[in-house]
Amino acid sequence: MESNGLEIVFWSSLLLLLYTYAGYPLLVWLRAKLRPRIVLRRSHEPSVTIIIIARNGDQWIDGKLSSCLKMDYPHNQLQVVLVSDGSTDATIARARAFESPRVDVIECPEHRGKAACLNEAVRNAKGEIIIFTDVRQRLDRMAVRNLVMNFADPTVGAVSGELMLDPDAANGFAAGMDLYWRYEKWIRVNEARFASSVGVTGAIYALRHECFRPIPEDTVLDDVLIPMNVVTAGMRVVFDRHAIAYDVPSGNRAREQQRKVRTIAGNYQLVLLKPGLLNPFRNPVWLQFVSHKLLRLIVPFLLAMMLTASFALGVESAGYRLLLVAQLVLYIVALFGILLPAAQRLHVIRIPTTFLLLNWFAVLGLVSFARHRRSQPW
């Protein structure tokens, strides 16, 4: 390839990379500042069903059900539906030990997957508003009430809550993921301020019962497909920072890698399940969806093209040699952080390390998708 072509490859890759991580966040921040859409929140008390899908969650089930039943919300308006997805531990026994008329326990003896269990749970939900939450996270006592207030606005179809990670428990790899999560939430908040958030926080989100559409049983990203169904039906998905779930950041890199790889594979699967999301005439948040979800999938390839072009161009250009050195330094720093996790206490090491790991997970996510296509392990 001639040098002009290589320069085009380098600079177009760099500009697309900058747009993905800086330009797009700046764009949504400006849109939120200049043309915000206010959510008409007010107190009201429709019937609510909290749905929990658990697979071998006996270590959390007591605390989870207790916190749900102690919500600051009328007891006669609150139902809890727990579905056990082929659990082999004491999840069912512990759940049934509550003997509360407000708790419905559904046992799926065989592992069916989260999406299939969500469909089953909604079929048994009596509430006008459905709240989805994971078994592990503790919910704030006001979480239900704060979520429900948003549905006083008739344009709102779904509401994402806020997942708060304990900063005192974050160090090394976990601290890097916490930093990324705060960045991600900031984007979602600003998306929701002028239009709709692309996806919700899986640990705590709510939607109108009437807005739920059964999802394919092999769906990986229910917390993206369900809200995108709401958006394509013409309603908003908003973000409420007062509806809080609490968790501890994962310091287990292998577990976090597995989760991120599955999420990336789920993004590819999402396009197969709902190809209309790629159509700007059918997807009201097409720009947000492409910029927020899809462009991140190609970042590893942009990085590879930049590095390759720099090597070739650096043979004859001092400027490109400097750009090559800058890239190599960032990769060396990131690898140092991976090999010596304690060094990630320093931001200058933590940020490139987290960036490199997330993009490596993106490569593995593509490989996982290619191998498993639609289905991904729970």
Q: How far is residue 128's CA from residue 298's CA, in Å, rounded to a whole number?
A: 40
Is residue 194 within 8 Å of residue 35, measured between CB atoms?
Answer: yes
- Residue that the structure tokens 């090559």 belong to: 324
**Phi and psi, residue 356, nearest 5°:** -65, -45
pTM of the model: 0.90
Q: How far is residue 266's CA from residue 259's CA, in Å, rounded to a whole number?
A: 10
Q: How far is residue 216's CA from residue 219's CA, in Å, rounded to a whole number?
A: 5
Is residue 188 within 8 Å of residue 32, measured between CB atoms?
Answer: no
pLDDT of residue 3: 74
Fold of 48-285: Spore Coat Polysaccharide Biosynthesis Protein SpsA; Chain A (3.90.550)
Q: Where are the domains of the chain?
A: 3-21+287-372, 48-285
- Residue that the structure tokens 């590879």 belong to: 304
pLDDT of residue 264: 93
Report which residue type is found at 81.
V
pLDDT of residue 345: 85
pLDDT of residue 377: 45
Record the tokens describing residue 326, joined without a space: 């800058």
How confident is the prediction along the chain (378 residues), in pLDDT tens digits per residue? 567 899 999 999 999 999 999 999 999 999 999 999 999 999 999 999 999 999 999 999 999 999 999 999 999 999 999 999 999 999 999 999 988 899 999 999 899 999 999 999 999 999 999 999 999 999 999 999 999 999 999 999 999 999 998 765 556 667 777 888 899 999 999 999 999 999 899 999 999 999 999 999 999 999 999 999 999 999 999 999 999 999 877 666 777 788 889 999 999 999 999 999 999 999 999 999 999 999 999 999 999 999 999 999 999 899 999 999 999 999 999 999 989 888 888 889 999 999 999 999 999 999 999 987 655 444
Helix (H) or strand (E) holding 61: helix 58-69
Q: How far is residue 222's CA from residue 116's CA, in Å, rounded to a whole number?
A: 10
pLDDT of residue 99: 81
pLDDT of residue 374: 52
Q: How far is residue 119's CA from residue 215's CA, in Å, rounded to a whole number?
A: 7
